[in-house]
Amino acid sequence: MLRIAFFLLLGLAIFAPLSVAQAAGDPYAVSGIAVDATASSATQAQNIAIVSGRAKAWTILSHRLTKAADWPRIPALDDTAITRLIRNYQFANERRSTTRYTADITYVFNPDAVRHMFRTANIAYADMQAKPILVVPMSPGYVPHSAWTSIWANPKYATGAAPLVLPVGDALDGAALSVLNFNTATWQDVEPVASRAHATEAFLIQVSQGKGSIDIKLRRLGPGNSPPMPDVVMPIPPGVPGPKVYAIAADAAASAIIDEWKARSAIDFGKRSKLIVEVRIQDLAGWSALLQRLGTIPNITDVGVVAINTGEARVALTYVGTQDQLHDLLAQATLDLSNQNGAWWLGPLTPADASTQ
């Protein structure tokens, strides 16, 4: 069982600054860094303020893109090195006097420079724009307006490395989720609810309170492999009110979910492999659509046609990262990679196949 110390620190690292968020659509932008500086002139104060926020922005960005286990290996950068990674600045809520400058700054980092730094340090990173992840709070079942569910409405959970979103919460969702069993629920059971929230996967988060502790069970439902996740056991300090306990528990659960997502999504670009797959061809339009879809898979670097015949083709996929990541990213594109009698086959992922992942 995992203890509170690890997850509480992780939760604080990811969720403490509620105003610090990712600019919409850009994982390399860190917004909402509050700065305040005083100098002999407003211009000097502004320059000092910009410098003062760089290190904080870099810490937030580097932790956003990498797994918690790799944070100690991130190179320590001085202000000059961080400056080289930044593309531009955006300012909001500026206030000036003759000697003082305050603002909320967005630091926009250069993706190529950051990627190069991570690759040089041999650190895997996940910089794809994450799709929303549905969270289904349970205690022991799902209740739309319970204290445990309401905690997850905090906007900070929707602005992290991977947006964590609640069900719409109307009668339709309530009817579908109120009958869920944590141990036996399938992706097919929650997919309609996830689809309404524009999510492509879901996590069931079940809490139970014992004597002096709160237990959190986590279970992922969705395309791709879903290995069991360890429980989180948190001691409850004496005198801590119930809402505060739930808030700390939610931070710990959210940290675990995001790190699990990074473990599946962070790609080690130093590891390159090739896989020969067989593909059935229905028609020219289907073949063209498949090639276009393969071009959207972020860890596939090359697609080569080895042989082609009536109704079938043999394709060489060059990819980076692990084969499990390739399988999962293909599944997210509704493509199934399977081994049949020693040969790898690539084809459409059927709804029935998705529900068993």
Nearest-angstrom CA–CA distance, 145 and 286: 46
- Across the strands, what pairs with 76? none
Burial class (CB in 10 A: 0-12, 13-18, 19+), 307: exposed
Stretch(es) of the chain classified as CATH 3.30.70? 272-356
Indicate the pairing of strand 202-210 with strand 133-138.
parallel
pLDDT at 24: 52
Residues paired with 248 in a beta bridge: none
Query: How confident is the model at residue 22, as a pLDDT?
Result: 59
The architecture that CATH gives domain 26-120 is: Roll (3.10)
pTM more than 0.95: no
Residue limits of CATH 3.40.50 in the chain: 133-265
Q: Of 67, 49, 51, nearest to 13 (Cα)?
A: 67
Question: Position 287: which residue type?
Answer: W
CATH 3.10.28 domain span(s) along the chain: 26-120
- 5-39: burial string, b at 16+ Cβ within 10 Å, e else: eebbebbebbbebeebbbbeeebbbbbbbbbebee
pLDDT score recorded for residue 332:
77
Q: What three-state secondary structure class fits 227? A: coil
How confident is the model at residue 322, as a pLDDT? 85
CATH of domain 272-356: 3.30.70
- At residue 143, φ and ψ (nearest 5 deg) are -130, 120
Across the beta sheet with 21-22, what order do the strands follow?
Answer: 21-22, 29-38, 100-109, 86-96
Q: What is the pLDDT of residue 334?
A: 87
In the chain, which stretches have pLDDT less than 70? Answer: 1-25, 129, 224-225, 350-357
Query: What is residue 209's three-state secondary structure?
Result: strand
Residues in the chain: 357
Q: What angle do CA 256, 268, 162 make, to 5 degrees?
A: 35
pLDDT at position 320: 87
Q: Which option is the CATH number for 133-265: 3.40.50, 3.90.1580, 3.30.310, 3.30.160? A: 3.40.50
Distance of alpha carbon 57 from alpha carbon 54, whole angstroms: 5
Under DSSP, is residue 300 helix (H, G, I), strand (E, B) or coil? Answer: strand
pLDDT at 184 (0 to 100):
94
- For residue range 232-249, what is the model confidence (pLDDT) as tens digits? 888 888 888 878 889 989
